[in-house]
Amino acid sequence: MTAAVMDLVALATEPEGLLPARQQMALSLGWHIILACFGVAFPAMIFVMHLRGIRRDDPVALGLAQRWAKTSAVLFAIGAVSGTVLSFEMGLLWPGLMGTFGDVLGLPFAFEGLSFFVEAIFLGIYLYGWGRMPPRRHLLMVVPMALAGVVGTFCVISVNAWMNVPAGFRIVDGEVVDINPWRAMFNDLAVLQFLHMWIAAYMVVGFAAAGVYAAGMLRGRRDRHHRLGFVVPFVFATVAAVVQPFVGHLLGGNLGDRQPAKLAAFELAETTESPSPLRIGGIYVDGEVKGALDIPYLGSLIAQNSFTKPVRGLDTIPADEHPPINITHWAFQTMVGIGMLLMLGVLVFWFFRWRGRDLLEHQWFLRCCVAAGPLAVIALEAGWVATEVGRQPWIVYGILRTRDAVGDYSADLWWLLGSTAVVYTLLTVGAVVVLRSMTRRWRAGEAGEEDLPSPYGPHSRLVDAGEAGR
C-alpha cells in the first residue's frame, strides 16, 4: 500500500491537472466498463433464454427473459449516459490526444457510434415490444442488438489497442502525416485485445447473473426458475472462463518486444534474469524487489514461451519511462489470480456434474458462485488498471506522453473528480435500490401479475392496474 502511495506521489510532480484527470478517467471508465459488459453480453443470454421460452413453450424461461430485459433497461440506461461521460472526457481532459490524433484514432469511434445507434434502436423495440409484436419477430430484435454490442466492443477496444501499438500515421518534424485511419483501426493488437475484453464481458455478466440465482438457492428457493436462471448464465461464464486464460496468454505473447516496461512491471523484473522467475506478490522499492515468492523458469516460460529467454529488467529502461510499477504488478496478478480461480471453479463444477454429483446442492459451492460475480468484476477492473497504468507514462505508446496530452487545467480539477464521485455513488445507490425493489416485487407478485402499475400517482395506479398484466 505504501508503495502504491509512493507511485502516486512520484506522479504528483507532473502538471497540476494530470493526476486528477487520470483519476477522473479511471473512475468514469472503471464504472462504465461494468455496465458496458452488460450491454455486450446480456443480450446474448437474453436471446438464449427467450428462444428457449418460445421454442419449448416454456413460461419459466419466458419469464426470466422478460425480467432480464427489464433489468437491462435500467443497466443500459445508466450505461448509455456513463458512456457519454467518456465521450465528453476524451475531449475535455485529453485535448492533446484528441486535437493531435483525433483524425487518426477517430474512425473506430465513428463505427462505434453506428453500433450504439443500432443497439439503442433495437433495445427500444425489444423492451417495449413485449406483447405488442409477433413473438418470433420480437425475439429477432435481440439479434442486431447483440451483434452491435460485439462490433461496438471491437471498435472501442481497437482505439485502446492503438494507444498501445500506435499505427496508421508517421511523425515528420513533429507533424502527424500519412494518416491511414483504417490501418489505425485494424492495428496489430486490435483483434486479440478485443477478444480478451469480449470474453471478459461474458465472465462478468455470466458470473454476476448466475450469482443472483445462486443467492436465491442459498435462501432455499430451489425452483425451476432459479435453476434455469443459474444455468444459462453459468454456461456462458464457463466457456468464457475456460477460454480466457488462453486468450490472455496470446495477447501477452510479444508484450516483451512491444512494451518492455509494461512486461517488466507485470513480472516485477528489476533486472534482466535468464531464465526469469515468476514473481508472485512482492513490492518494488528503490530498484529492489521485496517480499516476492519466486518460482524459477516460470516467468520466461509464461511471458516469453521459452525456458531461457529473459524478461527485460526495469534497470535497462530509463526511469522516466517506468510505469507506476507496484500498481501495475499487483493489478496484473490480481487479474490473473482471479481468472485462474474462476476457471478452476467452473471446471470443478462440471467435473462433478459429469461424475453425477450436483454441487448446487452444496451451500459452500453456492456461496462461491455468489462471490464469483464480484470477483469477475475485480478481475476486469484489475486488468484495465494493469494495461492502462502499465502503459504510463505514455498515452500513445512511445509517441505522446500522458502529461503532454492533458488539458491545461489547475488543481481545481480535483473538484470535478470529487463531484463525479458523488454523482456516481448516487447513481450506484439509485440503481441498486431500484433493482432490488424490482426483484422484491417480482417475488411478491405471483402468477404473472408482476408488471408495474404506472408509478406516477395513486390515480393512475388504479386506472392502469387493469391493463398491467401484459
Partner 1 sequence: MTLEVAVASALFVGVVAYAVFGGADFGSGFFDLTAGGARRGAEVRTLVDHSIGPVWEANHVWLIYVLVMWWTGFPESFAAAMTTLILPLLLALLGIVLRGASFAFRKYSATMGQARLFGVVFAASSVITPFFLGTVAGGIASGRVPAEGHGDLWTSWLNPTSLFGGAIAVGTCAFLAGTFLTADAQRAGRRRLADRLRVRSIAVGVVTGVVVFAALVPLQRDAPTLSEGLEGRAAVLIVASALAGAATLVLLFRRRYVAARVTAFGAVAAVITGWGVAQYPWMLVDEVTIAEAAGAPATLQALLITTGLAVVLVLPALVYLFRLTQSQEWSRH
292 binds partner 1 (CB under 8 A): no
Amino acid identity of 147? L
* x/- letters, 355..394, toward partner 1 (CB under 8 A): ----------------------------------------
Shortest CB 467 distance to partner 1, Å: 7
84 binds partner 1 (CB under 8 A): yes
* Residue 14: φ, ψ to 5°: -75, 180
Q: Which of 16, 58, 103, 404 binds partner 1 (CB under 8 A)?
A: 103
Provide CB contacts within 8 A for 115, sequence distance 6+: 148, 149, 151, 152, 155
* Residues 393-412, interacting with partner 1 (CB under 8 A): 407-408
Using CB under 8 A, which of the segments 98-106, 205-213, 234-242, 374-382 binds partner 1? 98-106
Judging by beta carbons within 10 Å of its beta carbon (0-12, 13-18, 19+), is residue 257 exposed, middle or buried?
exposed
Closest to 195 (Cα-Cα) out of 262, 237, 245:
245
Using CB under 8 A, which of the segments 266-274, 299-307, 382-390, 422-430 binds partner 1? 422-430
120 binds partner 1 (CB under 8 A): yes
423 binds partner 1 (CB under 8 A): yes
Q: Which of 19, 25, 125, 161 binds partner 1 (CB under 8 A)?
A: 125
**DSSP letter assigned to residue 361:** G
Assess contact for 442 and 450: CB atoms under 8 A: yes
Instruction: Tell me the three state secondary structure of residue 394.
Output: strand
Shortest CB 16 distance to partner 1, Å: 14
157 binds partner 1 (CB under 8 A): no
19 binds partner 1 (CB under 8 A): no
Distance between CA atoms of residues 453 and 421, nearest Å: 33
Amino acid identity of 405? A
Q: Which of 5, 59, 91, 257 binds partner 1 (CB under 8 A)?
A: 91
* Residues 178-237, interacting with partner 1 (CB under 8 A): 179-182
* Residues 31-60, interacting with partner 1 (CB under 8 A): none
* Residues 428-467, interacting with partner 1 (CB under 8 A): 430-431, 433-435, 437-438, 440-441, 452, 454-461, 464, 467
The angle formed by the CA atoms of residues 195, 201 and 207, to the nearest 5 degrees, is: 130
88 binds partner 1 (CB under 8 A): yes
Grid cell digits, residue 415: 473538484
Residue placing its CB nearer to partner 1 in the complex, 254 or 454:
454
Judging by beta carbons within 10 Å of its beta carbon (0-12, 13-18, 19+), is residue 272 exposed, middle or buried?
middle
Q: Bridge partners of 446?
A: none
Residue placing its CB nearer to partner 1 in the complex, 272 or 454:
454
Distance between CA atoms of residues 369 and 215, nearest Å: 8
End-to-end CA distance of the chain: 54
Residue placing its CB nearer to partner 1 in the complex, 123 or 278:
123
